[in-house]
């Protein structure tokens, strides 16, 4: 029976993909990719030759119905993002919901996602945590930070290198300058680094050292 497979892809090192994920990509009738140019590099690396179509936040509302119909017609579809697990700060939720509502079986494979290694590597409690992903850029941002000021669980944020310094400054104001935190960048890639310190120390460091690459910020919970 045809179904939708959600297939995590490496967040950096191309070796961080499971054997099952490779098999599903080879067996799929169609692979939906956030950016076909990025994903074609991965598929070419593993000698996978399957039709590839774009499926990103700008066209997903237009495409979900046609994808649903193709699966109902017997096609097996695999959804991947540029890196990590689709649906986690990447397109995927809308397609999954549409398929579930249509009675289509959805199977999500376990695999890479950036926040797990960053969380464990932080050294902060990870038995309970709060994943915030990307905060609102404008509307609602300060309100959300105010709500998180008393959050006792370890908090996880994704951030752009272009906004990191501003965000750390806002964290200093919302959570206090002495709150412990880590900034992990380029996880599993050549320049994989984690900086540790208080929010004030991290703000000062990155104000003087412009960050690059994908970034995960881990902030200790209140009272930890």
CATH number of the domain bearing residue 73? 3.40.1010.10
Query: In the 3-class helix/strand/coil scheme, how is 82-108 assigned residue by residue?
Result: CCECCCCCCCCHHHHHHHHHCCCCEEE
Q: What is the pLDDT of residues 189-205, one digit of tens each?
A: 988 999 999 999 999 99
Distance, CA of 137 to CA of 149 (rounded, Å): 18
Q: Is residue 146 part of a domain?
A: yes
Q: Are residues 172 and 146 in the same domain?
A: yes
Q: Residue 1: its pLDDT value, please?
A: 66
Listed in sequence order, the residues at least 6 apart from 128 whose beta carbon sits closer than 8 Å to its beta carbon are 153, 154
Q: Are residues 129 and 97 in the same domain?
A: no
CB 43 within 8 A of CB 17: no
Q: What is the pLDDT of residues 79-123, one digit of tens each?
A: 999 999 999 988 899 999 999 999 999 999 999 999 999 999 999
Query: Which residues constitute the domain of residue 206?
Result: 115-219
> Token match 């990509």: residue?
25
Q: Residue 57: its pLDDT value, please?
A: 87
Q: Is residue 224 part of a domain?
A: no
pTM of the model: 0.91
CB 10 within 8 A of CB 80: no
Q: Are residues 103 and 130 in the same domain?
A: no
Element (H, E) at 219: strand 215-219
Distance, CA of 33 to CA of 7 (rounded, Å): 10
Bridge partner residues of 107 (DSSP): 5
- Kindly list the averaged pLDDT for each block of 10 residues, start to end, along the chain of length 224: 93 95 97 95 96 92 94 97 93 95 96 94 96 92 95 97 96 98 95 96 97 94 88
**CATH number of the domain that 144 lies in?**
3.30.950.10
Distance, CA of 73 to CA of 51 (rounded, Å): 17
Q: Are residues 47 and 90 in the same domain?
A: yes
Domains contained in the chain, number: 2
Domain limit, last residue, from 73, 108, 143: 108
Q: Are residues 60 and 33 in the same domain?
A: yes
Q: Are residues 51 and 120 in the same domain?
A: no
Q: Are residues 206 and 136 in the same domain?
A: yes
Domain limit, last residue, from 108, 131, 163: 108
Q: Are residues 121 and 179 in the same domain?
A: yes
Structure tokens at 174: 């919302």
**HSE-CB of 30 using CA atoms within 13 angstroms:** 18
Q: Are residues 100 and 122 in the same domain?
A: no
CA dihedral 199, 204, 207, 213 (to 10 degrees): -50
* Angle, in degrees to the nearest 10, between helices 93-101 and 60-72: 40
Domain limit, last residue, from 108, 124, 147: 108
Listed in sequence order, the residues at least 6 apart from 24 whose beta carbon sits closer than 8 Å to its beta carbon are 5, 7, 78, 109
């Amino acid at each position: 029976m045809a179904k939708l497979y959600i297939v995590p892809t490496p967040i950096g090192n191309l070796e961080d993909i499971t054997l099952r994920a490779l098999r599903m990509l080879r067996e799929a009738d169609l692979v939906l990719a956030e950016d076909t140019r990025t994903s074609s590099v991965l598929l070419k690396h593993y000698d996978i030759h399957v039709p590839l179509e774009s499926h990103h936040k700008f066209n997903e509302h237009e495409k979900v119905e046609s994808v649903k119909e193709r699966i109902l017609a017997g096609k097996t579809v695999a959804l991947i993002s540029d890196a990590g697990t689709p649906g986690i700060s990447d397109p995927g939720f809308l397609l999954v919901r549409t398929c579930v509502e249509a009675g289509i079986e959805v199977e999500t494979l376990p695999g890479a996602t950036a926040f797990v290694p960053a969380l464990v590597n932080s050294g902060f409690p990870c038995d309970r945590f709060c994943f915030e992903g990307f905060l609102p850029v404008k509307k609602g941002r300060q309100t959300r930070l105010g709500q998180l000021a008393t959050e006792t669980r370890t908090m996880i944020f994704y951030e752009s290198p272009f906004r990191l310094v501003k965000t750390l400054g806002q964290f200093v104001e919302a959570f206090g300058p002495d709150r412990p935190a880590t900034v992990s960048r380029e996880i599993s890639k050549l320049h994989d680094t984690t900086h540790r310190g208080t929010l004030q120390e991290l703000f000062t460091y990155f104000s003087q050292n412009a960050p690059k690459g994908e970034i995960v910020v881990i902030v200790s919970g209140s009272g930890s």
